[in-house]
Structures are given as C-alpha cells and as structure tokens.
Amino acid sequence: MHNADLTDRPTDDGANTVRLGGLPIALIDMHTSAHAFIRMALDARNRDGLPFYSTSANGQVIALAAKDDGFRDILLKAGQIHADGMPMVLLSRMLCRTPLPERVATTDLVHAVAALAERAGVSFYFLGATEDSNRRAVAQMRATYPDLIFAGSSNGYLADREEAVVAEIARLKPDILWIGMGVPYEQQFVARNLDRLRGVGVIKTSGGLFDFLAGKLPRAPEWMQKAGLEWLYRLFREPRRLLVRYLSTNPIALYQLLTKSG
C-alpha cells in the first residue's frame, strides 16, 4: 500500500474556510453539510474518481497537528475539515472575522445524512470499532432508518486484513464510507488507501461514532453540548482514559487557537 497523491482530490467548492488553531475549518452548518454529502455521493456514481474526503477537528486534532508535521500534512489534504468541538465554535466568535455557524459533530451529522440518504437511495459502509460495536451501530441505524441501504460493514481491527477490506469496499463502491478508527489512525488509513477507493462517493472520518451509535458511549446532555462542556461530561464518564489526553492536548490546543486563528 502507498500514500495516495491527494492533490487531485475533489473539494466542496461551496464551503469557505476560516483559520482556526492553524487549520482551515469549513464555514458550513449541519444542514448544508448533509445535503452536500448526498449531492457529491450521487454525482460520483459511475465516475471512478477519488472520493470526497471530509475529516473533523477538535482540541486533540489541533494539538496533534501542532506537534506532528506528518499528521498535519495528511489533515490539510482533506477536502473539508469540520469543527467537531463546541469550544472551537465559541472561540471563533472572538478570534475570527467570520465565526463558525455551528458545531458539525459527526455523531449528529450521521443522522442528518441518513435521513436524506433514505430518500435518495444513498448507501453507507461502516468501517471501524470492535465487531460488537460495529454490528450494533449498523443495527441501530437500520432500526432508526428502515430504508437506509448498507453496502457493507467491517470492524476496524484490520492488521493483516487491510488489503482485503479495502478491496471489498472498492468492489462494493458505497456512496458514503464512514471510518471510525480514532485519531490519527483513520486519517492515516485514508492517506494510504484513498487512491484505491476510487468510485466511493464520500469518505468521512468519524472517531468514536460507532461506539456512540451502539450505546457504548452516551452523549452529554444537550445543555452541556451547547455550552461546550461535552469534554467535561466525557471526562467524568471515562476519567482514566481521558484525563491524560486532556492534560496533554488541551493546553496546546488552546495556545494554537489563541495564536493561530483569524
């Protein structure tokens, strides 16, 4: 496998960007994002072109991009970077000439896209998480959206299976491929395999999406999400896993946001 040349990847020309934490973040809302995914997925059918590649940024991503030039380069080659963190939205109102319209969390975006995909006949493929979480996530989406088409699914523990799974996805050509392997593994997976996934319409990196859909990780109350405190809720739920991450990434992310935004 090799790193694809992402320079000719399609971009969403309808989405302008704003510089936030040193990254070009899409000035786009949930509704527009969902409709754009459907439009691009349908337009890509039978064209055998590179997928439209959309990823997301939060504090962890901003911090890692500041420390790791290789990861930053991969990130910057995406066609779109969503703001998947309410603190980014709130800080953009103070630091940017044009503030972000809203947070585009993948855990919400997948529902907005699925509702449209049902009517448009757009197919999904879920790649990531454990076998149990992946299976339960697919089952939950099928229960919620009975007419949603799943081209296929696979857990994210690829090891020596990566070539075979990529070949399967390339053969099935799902309209939208959701990849939930966590940062930076999902972005690295896309960089390695994008060229081999021609014919797939849209690729969206999704972090822990499938664990949320499977019910393994509950969402924070809506008021905490709107106040930018979902990170605090998650820390309370998973202190051992998240405390070190937050302590090591949040100060770097905040510095990047305060000094490299505009």
pLDDT at 7: 40
| C-alpha angle 154-160-166 in degrees, rounded to nearest 5 | 45
d(CA 145, CA 122): 12
pLDDT digits (tens, 9 = 90+) for 124-156: 999 999 999 999 999 999 999 999 999 999 999
20, 98 Cβ separation under 8 angstroms: no
d(CA 244, CA 180): 22
Answer whether residue 3 shows pLDDT above 50: no
Q: Among 19-33, 73-87, 179-193, 209-223, name the one with the lowest average pLDDT.
A: 209-223
Ordered strands of the 123-128 beta sheet: 80-83, 52-57, 202-205, 176-180, 123-128, 149-154
pLDDT at 246: 78
d(CA 54, CA 77): 10
pLDDT band at 23 (very low <50, low <70, confident <90, very high): very high
